[in-house]
Amino acid sequence: MPQNLTIRTAALPLAPTGTLVIYADEGQPPQGAGGQAWTATGLDFAEIAAAAGFKGKPGQVLDIAAPSGIAAKRLLVLGAGRQDPQKPASGSAWADRGGSLAAKLMASGTEAAAVILDGHEVMPAGVAQLAAGVKLRQYRFDKYKARKADEAQSDLAVTLYVADPSATDAAIAGRMAVAEGAIVARDLINEPPNVLGTEEFAERAAALAGLGLTIEILDEPALRALGMTSMLSVSQGSIRPPRMVVMRWASGGNEAPVAFLGKGVVFDSGGISIKPAANMEDMKGDMGGAAAVVGLMHALASRKARVNAIGIIGLVENMPSGTAMRPGDIVRAASGTTIEIVNTDAEGRLVLADLLWYVQEKLKPAAIIDLATLTGAIGVALGNDHAGLFSNNDDLAMKLAAAGLATGEKLWRMPMGAAYDKLIESRFADIKNSGGRLAGSITAAQFLARFVGNVPWAHLDIAGVALNSPPTETNAGWASGFGVALLERFVADNYEAK
């Protein structure tokens, strides 16, 4: 299994390589430089394609060992699908193509590969997405697995032959920053909960100072001084202390910042309202929102985005103990709102309530987007293909949805309204923290909306897509890093100085 990945660009002519990769459009033989490479083998493409049932559809491959006429030990012809000049492939399609390429290279044990893209009229942005897809698919989280004595520790070097290497290198650098941000998020989510507690998570986030971010970590006394009792109520049953991390990237002049908030429950047992034992191990990933925010800030700083952005994560552990919050408790949030606790497993919204107050009160953002693995109900509604989008602002919602379509991290807007708000009214306090089983993801969003003023706000419920989601072309693991590419594109399209 390759341990290290190197991607570089070059211009033709080809240098000798272990594996040569060319593409064939659906119903067409290889064209351009790829066609020339095939012709050099002296093989009849139509005859071989017919015998192998190769039509050039996405995912199809012709694998030819020891081809004559070219300086390569293996020739792979990959199906590129049907090309429509009026509708070029999207960025996510190019990323999927890169993921598929990586899977085939790793499966064949390739250590060095040359990929001919010159001649396909591929723009640098498309090549960059392909390169990012290779990196994302090559990712593995296996640091805790023992290595077998005979297991290969090979590297993978990929050379992309393109028409304009200089422009392509610049595009790849930007996309790789985003891919690396997604990998940062994946690593955080994949870590076991005995290794990554609240303090350790905060230290990982603080390491972003090396990229130029300003980092502030607030401990329990500081949080208590701010009156953030809602967030503190979640952590009071655990020996792990709460932390709030504020990450600032200021490269956008005097513009008001755009703020990203992340739920960071490093392990969620459910507290006194304890979860069923089956699959509780997955709750190490209940900090997927915080992981995405850290990954996003990593991406923005790595590519020196011209924007003012703030990332805030609330880190707690929800455990049952003699000091844990109880159903029936009433706590006062930093905003002054009183909350009746009716279910201690509805804890993420208690963290976000205080984060929402803090960012509005202290930092005056132009817009707020929060991310949270908030409810199982969103998975029931949308499965693993879309995250739930809730917002108080149509323009913000449309911009986020557009970024989701562009990156393949898709969002579906869910309803909000007064009828749902009534479900979280409390007999004893201003609000209760759960509206019950019906419309669970919506009532959770209604709860959060109580802590939002007039600022444009969106809530992304990513419980169905951040972890334990089905494998894709760019992710063969358990954690997806969902949200990093989506929000980086959202920033680039709408808030970054041009």
- The token pair at 498 is 């041009």
349 is an active site residue: yes
Closest CA to 25 of 104, 66, 85, 111: 85
- The token pair at 35 is 């066609």
Three-state SS for 106? helix
Alpha carbons within 13 A on the beta-carbon side of 489:
23
275 is an active site residue: yes
Distance of CA 361 to the CA centre of its chain: 28
Type and span of the H or E element at 478: none
DSSP letter for each residue of 384-403: TT-EEEEES-HHHHHHHHHH
Residue with tokens 């083998």: 41
Give the C-alpha distances (Å, rounded to integers) separating 216 from 176, 297, 337, 346, 390. 27, 14, 26, 27, 29
Q: Which of 137, 349, 399, 410 is catalytic?
A: 349
User: Residue 38 burial by CB count (10 A; 0-12/13-18/19+): exposed, middle or buried?
Assistant: buried
The amino acid at 25 = D
Other Cβ atoms less than 10 A from the Cβ of 402: the count is: 15
- The token pair at 142 is 């296996």
Q: Are 465 and 386 in contact (CB under 8 A)?
A: yes
Q: Which residues contact 53 (CB under 8 A, 6 or more apart)?
A: none
- The token pair at 14 is 């080809």
Closest CA to 223 of 239, 244, 237: 244
Other Cβ atoms less than 10 A from the Cβ of 196: the count is: 22
Q: Which residues contact 328 (CB under 8 A, 6 or more apart)?
A: 340, 341, 342
CA–CA gap between residue 94 and residue 407 (Å, rounded): 10
- The token pair at 329 is 């408790």
Other Cβ atoms less than 10 A from the Cβ of 303: the count is: 18
Q: Which of 57, 248, 275, 450 is catalytic?
A: 275
- The token pair at 442 is 């919506």
Residue 305 phi, psi (nearest 5) = -60, 140
Q: Are 416 and 388 in contact (CB under 8 A)?
A: no
Q: Are 487 and 296 in contact (CB under 8 A)?
A: yes
CA–CA gap between residue 385 and residue 378 (Å, rounded): 11
Supply the residues annotated as catalytic: 275, 349
